[in-house]
């Protein structure tokens, strides 16, 4: 039973990890806590529907179109909103990000209607039994895609000069400009990367949650995962996502599934009160 719960919980955890990564990436790089990020996740999934309905594309090409569109969306957010606000206060930037999320949410509500849309699973949702544990291929696909994206990001940040330059600019902007990094280009890259991440997360999570304009509430889960991980560490975001997924599943199974969401928000409050530096705060200090 416990093994079954843990296996199932990884699915939600993987998606939380992706969303948390987006939050942390934007925060580390630009200092902005992007409260509209959850709505960007929803919007990403709607982009697939829009591409299907508007251009009449089949599912997979529509996903590709949505990913390309989210590159443009990221560039637009930076060029149209965050670059003009670069000298404004952080609070103004955070409010702008919240307003931008609301614009996206209300756009899909007006354009696609307030009710839920069916969204296809990537693989079959019919469970199969592996060593007595029920495994859902659709969920495996979610975990697989998440792991793939995480691996790509790891390669980017650890193995390429451009990725290292992004990490460098997140660490010290003046230092980055002194070695010749154009910091505005790094910000653009961060907004594009996080927008693509949001769309990937949206496509993965939409069939689980049913796609409606208010699916963006999932953003708070990603936010909680990011806080769990310390909000400043990319590995922390991933661990925070998995931990949140597991805790939620345990609470949902052994306490009450109705209380599941309440428990994850309770975790958020508890972490802020007791361990504001997050789970990895300890580990980071031990390493030093």
Residues that bind other proteins (CB under 8 A): 161, 164-165, 167-168, 171-172, 174-182, 288
Give me the least distance between CB of 147 and other proteins, in Å please: 25
Angle between helices 161-171 and 2-30 (to 10 degrees): 70
Q: Of 115 and 172, which CB lies nearer to other proteins in the complex structure?
A: 172
Give the Cα separation of 126 and 134 in Å (integer). Answer: 10
For the chain, percent helix, then strand, then coil, each to nearest 5? 80, 5, 20
SS3 257: helix
Give me the least distance between CB of 196 and other proteins, in Å please: 24
Q: Are 233 and 284 in contact (CB under 8 A)?
A: yes
Give me the least distance between CB of 232 and other proteins, in Å please: 9
Give me the least distance between CB of 169 and other proteins, in Å please: 9
**264 Cβ contact partners less than 8 Å away, ≥ 6 residues apart:** 221, 224, 244, 247, 248, 251
Q: Of 102 and 232, which CB lies nearer to other proteins in the complex structure?
A: 232
Q: Of 58 and 180, which CB lies nearer to other proteins in the complex structure?
A: 180
SS3 83: coil
Q: Of 173 and 260, which CB lies nearer to other proteins in the complex structure?
A: 173
Q: Of 1 and 174, which CB lies nearer to other proteins in the complex structure?
A: 174
Q: Are 48 and 203 in contact (CB under 8 A)?
A: yes
Give me the least distance between CB of 187 and other proteins, in Å please: 13
């Amino acid at each position: 039973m416990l093994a079954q719960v843990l296996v199932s919980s990884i699915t939600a955890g993987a998606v939380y990890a992706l969303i948390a990564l987006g939050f942390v990436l934007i925060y580390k790089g630009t200092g902005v806590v992007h409260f509209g990020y959850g709505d960007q996740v929803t919007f990403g999934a709607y982009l697939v529907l829009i591409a299907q309905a508007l251009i009449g594309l089949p599912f997979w090409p529509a996903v590709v179109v949505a990913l390309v569109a989210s590159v443009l969306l990221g560039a637009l957010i930076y060029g149209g909103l965050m670059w003009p606000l670069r000298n404004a206060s952080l609070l103004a930037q955070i409010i702008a990000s919240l307003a931008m999320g609301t614009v996206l949410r209300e756009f899909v509500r007006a354009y696609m209607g307030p009710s839920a849309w069916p969204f296809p699973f990537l693989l079959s949702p019919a469970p199969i039994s592996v060593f007595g544990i029920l495994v859902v291929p659709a969920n495996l696909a979610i975990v697989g895609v998440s792991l793939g994206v995480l691996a790509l990001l790891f390669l980017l940040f650890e193995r390429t000069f451009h990725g290292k330059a992004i990490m460098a600019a997140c660490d010290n902007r003046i230092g980055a400009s002194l070695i010749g990094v154009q910091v505005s280009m790094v910000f653009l890259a961060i907004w594009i990367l996080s927008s693509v991440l949001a769309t990937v997360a949206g496509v993965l999570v939409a069939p689980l949650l049913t796609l409606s304009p208010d699916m963006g509430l999932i953003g708070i889960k990603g936010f909680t995962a990011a806080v769990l991980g310390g909000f400043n560490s990319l590995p922390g975001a991933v661990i925070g996502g998995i931990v949140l997924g597991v805790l939620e599943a345990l609470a949902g199974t052994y306490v009450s599934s109705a209380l599941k969401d309440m428990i994850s928000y309770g975790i958020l409050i508890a972490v802020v009160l007791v361990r504001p530096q997050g789970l990895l705060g300890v580990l980071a200090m031990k390493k030093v």
